[in-house]
Amino acid sequence: MTRIQRRTLWISIVGVLAVLAYAVLAALQILVLNPLAAAPGLTMEEIRFAMAEAGENLGQGAVFSVLGIGVALAVAVAVVSVVRRADPVVPAMTFLALLMLGAVGYFVASFGAGMALADTFGISGADYSPWARPLYVVSALAAVAIVVGGAMAVMRSRYPAQP
C-alpha cells in the first residue's frame, strides 16, 4: 500500500467515525437531551407517557432513518475511495461536505420530534437543550474548511511548488 493509499484509508476511517459521532449526538439530542430540557422535572418515561396520552411520539424510526442516510453515505464514500484508490483530497472534502450537511439532516430529523413535544407540552418546537449547538458548530467549521481547502487547491494549481 502506497503512502497516498494509506492516507486515503485513514481519512476514510476518521471521516466515517466523525459522521457516525455526529449522527449519534444528533439522535441523542433529539430523542433524549432535548425532551428532558423541554419538559424539566420529568423523566423520559413520564415524557413518553404524556406524549402517548396526547397521541404523539418522538418518531424514533424517522430520526434513525434520516440520520442513517448520512452514515450510509459516509460508508459508501469510504469504500469507493479506498477501492478506487482516490486521492486523499476527494474523501476529505466529501466527508467535510457530509458534516456540513449534517445540520440540514439534524433539522429534518428533529422537526417531527420537536413538533410532537410542542403539541404535547404547549411549548415551541425549538431546541431547549444546548447540545444542538455543537452540531451546528461542526457543520459551520466543515463549511469553512471546504472553502479554505478549495482556495488552497486553486492556489496550488496556479502557483505550483518549484523543484
CB 126 within 8 A of CB 72: no
* Residue 51 confidence class, pLDDT cut points 50, 70, 90: very high
Q: For residue 157, what pLDDT is reported? A: 83
Residue 67 Cα distances to 31, 43, 58, angstroms: 12, 25, 14
- Domain count for the chain, please give it: 1
Q: Quick check: is 63 in a domain?
A: yes
Q: Quick check: is 163 in a domain?
A: no
Q: For residue 153, what pLDDT is reported? A: 85
Residues 110-149 have pLDDT tens digits of 999 999 999 999 999 999 999 999 999 999 999 999 999 9
Is the predicted pLDDT of residue 78 greater than 80, yes or no?
Answer: yes
Please give the residue range of the domain that contains residue 73. 3-158
CA atoms 32, 35, 38, 40: torsion sign = negative
Q: Quick check: is 141 in a domain?
A: yes
Half-sphere exposure of 135 (CA within 13 A, CB side): 28
